[in-house]
Amino acid sequence: MTTQDLVFQIRKKKSFLCIGLDTDLEKIPPHLLQEEDPIFEFNKAIIDATHHLCVAYKPNIAFYEAYGIKGWKSLERTIEYLNGKYPEQFTIADAKRGDIGNTSARYAKAFFQDLNFDSITVAPYMGKDSVEPFLSFKDKHTILLALTSNLGAFDFQTKKIEGRELYKEVLNTSKTYQGAQNLMYVVGATKAEYLAEIRRIIPENFLLVPGVGAQGGSLEAVCKYGITSDIGLLVNSSRGIIYASPAIDFAEVAQDRASDLQGQMQKEMESRDLI
Ligand SMILES: O=c1ccn([C@@H]2O[C@H](COP(=O)(O)O)[C@@H](O)[C@H]2O)c(=O)[nH]1
C-alpha cells in the first residue's frame, strides 16, 4: 500500500486508528477455546466488528510465536483474511526485527513477500546495513523504533551522545538511508511531549503511536504535537479494545471501544480542518 492510499483511507474513514491483535489464549473468551483455531476465530470476529472504524491492524508477532507452528498458522490465516476481505487495511507486523544485512533481507522476505504485510517494525540499533534491506521493497514500509512507550526508553533512547539524544540520532541518520521514503517511526503516546521536537526533525513521516488505552497515553496530546496536514499518525490500541469484554459479547464491546476512539480522532481532525 502506498502512503497516499493510507492517507486516502484515513480521510475516508475519519480515523487513524490501528487495532493491535495481541491475541492471547489466556485472555480470549473461554467459549472460543473449543474452536480448532481459537486465535484466528478471535481475530476474525474483532476484524469483522471493527474494520469500518480503523485503517490498520497490528498483530504483535510475539503473541503468535508463543504458540509455535500453530501460532504461526493463526498469524498466516489472519493476514490472509485481512488481505483477502479488507485489502484497504494497512497491515503492520510488529516484529521488531533487524540483523546483519543478509539476515535482515530474509526477515524482509518473510514478512513482505511470504506473509504480504504492508509494513514491519524494525529495531535501529544495528544501523544502516540492518535497515536498508527492508527499505528496498516497493510500497512496503519500515517502522523504525525511535522513542518507545515503555519506561526502559529512558535507559538509552533519551541519553545524549555527543550532545544529541539517541532517538534524535536515529531520526536524523535514518533519513540518509537508501529508500528512506519508505520509513515510518514508532513514538509512544506516553512520550507525547517529545513530539514537537520529533516533528522538527521529521515533519512529514508517518508515526506509529502505541500507548493509548492500557498504557495511559493521551490521544489529545499526541494530536496536539504530532498531527500533520496529511495526519501522519497511526494511533494503536490493543488491550483497551480487544479485551474490553471477556465474555461472549467481546466483539461488540470492542466495536464500541473502537468507535469511541474513532469519534475522538474525527473531532481532532475536524477541529484542524484536516477532513
Ligand atoms: O514503543 C512501543 C512499541 C510497541 N508497542 C506494542 O504496541 C502494543 C501496545 O499494546 P496496548 O495493549 O495497547 O498497550 C503492544 O503490541 C506492544 O508490544 C508498545 O506498546 N510500545
74 CB under 6 A from ligand 1? no
Atom of ligand 1 nearest to the CA of 236: 13
Phi, then psi, of 66 in degrees rounded to 5: -60, -20
Q: Which pLDDT does position 98 carry in this prediction?
A: 98
Give the up-direction half-sphere exposure of residue 23: CA atoms within 13 A in the CB hemisphere: 28
pLDDT digits (tens, 9 = 90+) for 131-161: 999 999 999 999 999 999 999 999 999 999 9
What integer pLDDT is reported at residue 112 of this predicted model? Answer: 98
- What average pLDDT score do residues 48-73 get? 98
The answer regarding whether domain 3-269 maps to CATH 3.40.640.10 reads: no
The pLDDT assigned to 12 comes to: 98
ipTM of the complex: 0.99
**Residue 230 CA, ligand 1 centroid: distance in Å:** 24
Measured between alpha carbons, how far is 128 from 183 in angstroms, rounded to an integer? 13
Instruction: Tell me if residue 96 is catalytic.
Output: yes
Give me the mean pLDDT over the 203-215 stretch: 96
Establish whether residue 130 lines the binding site of ligand 1, counting it when its CB lies within 6 angstroms of any ligand atom.
no
Ligand 1 pocket residue status of 149, Cβ below 6 Å: yes
How remote is the CA of residue 214 from the centroid of ligand 1, in Å? 9
Which residue has its alpha carbon closest to ligand 1 atom 18? 60
Please report, for the chain, the start and end positions of each structural domain, with discontinuous segments joined by +.
3-269
Cα–Cα distances in angstroms (integers) from residue 159 to residues 131, 134, 148, 162, 259, in the given order: 22, 27, 13, 10, 38
CA 236 – CA 19 distance, rounded (Å): 6
At residue 209, the pLDDT reads: 98
As given in the structure block, the three cell numbers for residue 168 are: 534524535
